[in-house]
Amino acid sequence: MTLVDRLTAAKRDANYQGLIDAVPYARFLGLTAGMEGEELITTMKFGAHLIGNPALPALHGGTLGALLESAAIFELLWRAETVVLPKTITLTVDYLRSGAAVDTHARGIVTRHGRRVTNVRMEAWQTDRATPVATAHAIFLVKRAA
Amino acid sequence: MADEDADLRLKLVKQFSAGVPHNRALGIWIEAVTPGSTVFRLPYDEKLVGNPDTGVLHGGAITALLDGASGAAVFAALTDFVPIATLDLRIDYLRPAEAGKDVVCKATCYKLARNVAFTRAVAFHDDPDDPIAHSVGTFMISTKGGKA
């Protein structure tokens, strides 16, 4: 099965985790996904391999960037009527506080869905959603799959 | 004497970067640390693939590579070991990485001000003039003994 087939099947079966299990890097990060009300929330389960600063300890900034980018991509895959693999054009992450050694959650919100380009903003939080650890925005090329 | 101190500091930056758990998990090699500049290598690994059909690495692995190399470039520019914190990082993805190839990142701290350091970095396979991704970042520099 191709990735697009697997994603199409995951959407058909409302199997959010199927979106993630199709992607090796998402498994490496320890991502899970699920609906909370109307929101698709992506969670990065804490693991010692995600640490960037052992002294604090704090998550590596790259893991937060990857979580935020993944949350945006899952949101696009989930909401789109047909499965289109979004290509990231730019990603900008604002790091607001250091990520503690606990699970981190993220979601993406589409701010503009264009014919070729989609803008998404994202936020990531840990214990308190009102105090995000990082926010981001990204622009994706969403070329229709052939 | 000053040169010896600088050499020791650069060696420590290299050792510290190599020991960062997430860098180790990604399999990153620290190829070079020079004043204000670093070269990191991310060996190709199937566990970091974003699209299993093509075998292309996930953007997130490249984000982590650029972030880590940029932060280390700031440490390599500083004359004291003080904590730093990433303020922001913008990444432009210029073309997909090719399956099976290592990704190399060259990062530079091009401006070190009193409170803030500014970095740019480029990720590429063999030729820095044919980049996969380009990033610019800013880092907060803490005062010695203080908070970042």
Q: For the whole model, what pTM was predicted?
A: 0.93
Neighbour-count burial for B37-70, b at 16+ CB within 10 Å, e otherwise: bbbbbbebeeebbbbbeeebbbbbbbbbbbbbbb
Count of pairs with CB atoms under 8 A, one residue in A, one in B:
126
Which residue type is seen at A130? Answer: A
Please write the tens of the pLDDT for every residue from A73-91. 989 988 887 777 899 999 9
> Which residues from chain A sit within 8 angstroms of residue B90, using beta carbons?
90-93
The low-confidence residues of chain B, meaning pLDDT below 50, are 1, 147-148
Question: Rounded to a whole number, what is the distance in Å from the CA of A80 to chain B's nearest CA?
Answer: 18
User: A111 with A119: CB under 8 angstroms?
Assistant: yes
- In sequence order, the 6+-apart residues with CB closer than 8 A to the CB of B105 are B38, B39, B40, B41, B42, B65, B66, B69, B121, B122, B123, B124
CA R_g for chain B = 15
* pLDDT score for B99: 96
Please enumerate residues of A whose Cβ is less than 8 A from a Cβ of B: 2-4, 22-29, 48-54, 59-63, 65-67, 69-70, 85, 87-95, 98
DSSP sequence for A21-56: HT-HHHHHHTEEEEEETTEEEEEE---GGGEEETTT
Query: What was the pLDDT predicted at A32?
Result: 94
pLDDT at A22: 82
Chain A residues touching B67 at Cβ < 8 A: 60-62, 65
Give chain A positions within 8 Å (CB) of B48: 24-25, 28
Place of tokens 């989609």: A118
Return the pLDDT at A128.
Answer: 95
In the structure encoding, which two tokens stand for residue B103, read together?
């990704």
Q: Enumerate residues 6+ apart whose C-beta is below 8 A from A111.
A: A119, A120, A121, A137
Over residues A68-73, mean pLDDT: 95
Distance (Å, whole) CA B69 – CA A68:
20
Question: Which residue in the set B57, B60, B88 is minimally distant from A95, CB to CB?
Answer: B88
pLDDT at position A146: 47
Q: How far apart (Å, rounded) are the C-alpha atoms in residues B117 and A69?
A: 24
- Set of chain A residues whose Cβ sits within 8 Å of the Cβ of B49: 23-25
Closest CA to A41 of A136, A145, A115, A125: A125
Q: Do B87 and A95 touch (CB under 8 A)?
A: yes
Instruction: Name the residue with tokens 């914190």.
Output: B85
- Nearest C-alpha neighbor of A66 from the set A143, A136, A127: A136
Measure in Å the smallest separation between the Cα of B3 and chain A Cα atoms. 27
Torsion of CA A120, A125, A128, A129, to 10 degrees: 10
Q: How far apart are CA B38 and CA B107, in angstroms?
A: 5
Contact (CB<8Å) A92/B51: no
| pLDDT one-digit tens code per residue, B47-90 | 999 998 999 999 999 999 999 999 999 999 999 888 899 999 99
d(CA A52, CA B19): 9
Tens-place pLDDT, residues A8-67: 888 888 787 877 888 899 999 999 998 899 999 999 999 999 999 998 899 999 999 999
State the CB neighbour count (10 A cutoff) for residue B103.
23
Kindly identify which residue of chain B lies nearest to residue A56, measuring between CA atoms.
Answer: B83
